[in-house]
Amino acid sequence: MRHPGSASLFVRWREWAAPVWIGCNFSAWMRLLIRNRFAVHWSRWHYAVLYTLVSVVNSCLGLLQNIVFARRVANTRIADPPVFIVGHWRTGTTLLHELLVLDDRHIGPTGYECVAPQHFLLTERFAPLVGFMVSKHRAMDNMDSSLYHPQEDEFVWVMQGQPSPYLTLAFPNRPPEHERYLDLEQLTAQELEAWKRPLYRFVQQLYFRHRKTVILKNPNHSFRMKVLLDIFPQAKFIHIVRDPYVVYPSSIHLLKSLSRVHSLQKPIFEGLDERVLATYVDLYRKVDEGRALVDPSRFYELRYEELIDDPEGQLRRLYDHLGLGDFEQYLPRLRQYLADHEHYATNTYELTAEQRAVLDDRWGEVIDRYGYRVPAASRQIS
């Protein structure tokens, strides 16, 4: 199997895509601008004006959805515990998410649902009207993209003005925003409860709409497993790992690509390498802590490379371990998807000897634990 997406690695033209802030409500958008002293680059001011107008519409639609649906959503019992896909960015979390939501017993929040959490119950039928605002391919790896593809739930907090580390994407040249909201350890009890509410409500909304097991993918949740278990005590977790010598350059590329698309400034990427190096170590420490809190029957770990080589075998074992249902019922859809995407090629990267030495030093424990330490002469980075 090859990684899914478009048949070509690079697109010869640049596809236009609206920065994600178009989903913010008015208070979220204003707080973002004020907190960053309106440091919008002159070339992005047309976005600022447009989003101010759209944010008012988002707020009005949010109020209307609350009137129409709030009571019914609040009375919805989540009968099936959600499944969380965790792992470092660029380890294959998106691929795994897309594969699992092929099963019609599962639902993953779409791009529209994540960017419009305050009114998607009311407006999702009109999503095709704004589909032109989304690139047909992801900026960082050319995977297929649309408002209907599964998306990270981290944007649920962003769009509603709740603190999130992803807000740094808007103004990447200013100090990082809301770093305390990565692992949540330093939050007050009041702040923590305020963080939990949007997630529980969002899962309720998805379950109210679809009545299926909700599968969420969010690398940030790798730091938050303890809190996720407080919200959903019977939640299941899937941790995917990938060659660190690929994850490092791919993560750098990811952050640069996202900043170029979604930043309201001209990003200079100061301190980017160090941030990636440090976050990686912290993430695996928190995954280890979280794993210890989960019943082993509700935690499954797999390697990206093995998923690529044998998707049917790996997913069958995952289904059996987590009790996700009859795998044979899901298999025809999986096989069709794999056939449709068999020609996709992943990005390739080359590390310098100096970069490799840094990774050996800083990430050596994780590299050794998962068996990725291979002599440089025999390694191909892709």
Characterize 73-95 residue by residue with b for buried, 16 or more Cβ atoms within 10 angstroms of its Cβ, and e for exposed.
beebebeeebbbbbbbbbbbbbb
pLDDT of residue 380: 52
Q: What is the pLDDT of residues 10-62, one digit of tens each?
A: 343 344 466 889 999 999 999 999 999 999 999 999 989 999 999 999 999 99
Q: Could you report the per-residue pLDDT of 41-54, keeping only the tens digit for each? A: 999 999 899 999 99
Residues, the chain, total?
382
Asked if 176 and 168 count as a contact pair (C-beta separation under 8 A), the reply is yes
pLDDT at 349 over 60: yes
Calculate mean pLDDT across residues 221-243: 98
Rounded Cα distance between 162 and 28, Å, is 8
For residue 321, what pLDDT is reported?
98
How far apart (Å, rounded) are the C-alpha atoms in residues 319 and 175?
42
Which single residue is written with the structure tokens 């019922």? 329
- The pLDDT value recorded for residue 347 is 74
Asked, for residue 378, whether it belongs to a domain, the answer is no
Confidence of residue 148 (pLDDT cuts 50, 70, 90): confident
Task: Decide if 381 is inside a domain.
Answer: no
Report the C-alpha gap between 354 and 279 in whole angstroms.
20
Residue 161 CA to residue 59 CA, distance in Å, equals: 11
Given a contact cutoff of 8 angstroms between Cβ atoms, the answer to whether 33 and 40 are in contact is yes
Asked whether residue 5 is domain-assigned, the answer is no
Report the pLDDT value the prediction gives residue 9, as an integer from 0 to 100: 38
Report the C-alpha gap between 99 and 122 in whole angstroms.
Answer: 27
CA distance 170 to 145: 21
Closest CA to 193 of 230, 165, 222, 167: 230
Range of the domain at 363: 15-373
The model's confidence at residue 261, banded by pLDDT at 50, 70 and 90, is: confident
List the CATH number of the domain containing 113: 3.40.50.300
Q: Residue 215 is inside which H or E element, if any?
A: strand 213-217
**309 occurs within a structural domain:** yes
Cα separation, 114 vs 237, whole angstroms: 20
Rounded Cα gap, residues 355 and 349, in angstroms: 12
Domain tally for the chain? 1
**Residue 130: which pLDDT band, with cuts at 50, 70 and 90?**
low
Pull the structure tokens for residue 144.
Answer: 């297929």
- Coil vs helix vs strand at 382: coil
Structural domain contains residue 310: yes
Q: Are 237 and 215 in contact (CB under 8 A)?
A: no
Task: Establish if 207 belongs to a structural domain.
Answer: yes
**Considering the domain boundaries, does residue 6 fall inside one?**
no
**What is the rounded average pLDDT for all residues in the chain?**
89
pLDDT in tens, 293-332: 999 999 999 999 999 999 999 999 999 999 999 999 999 9
- 3-class secondary-structure state, position 13: coil
For the chain, how big is the Rg over CA atoms in Å?
Answer: 20
pLDDT > 90 in the chain, percent: 80
**Global pTM?**
0.90
Is 241 a member of any domain?
yes
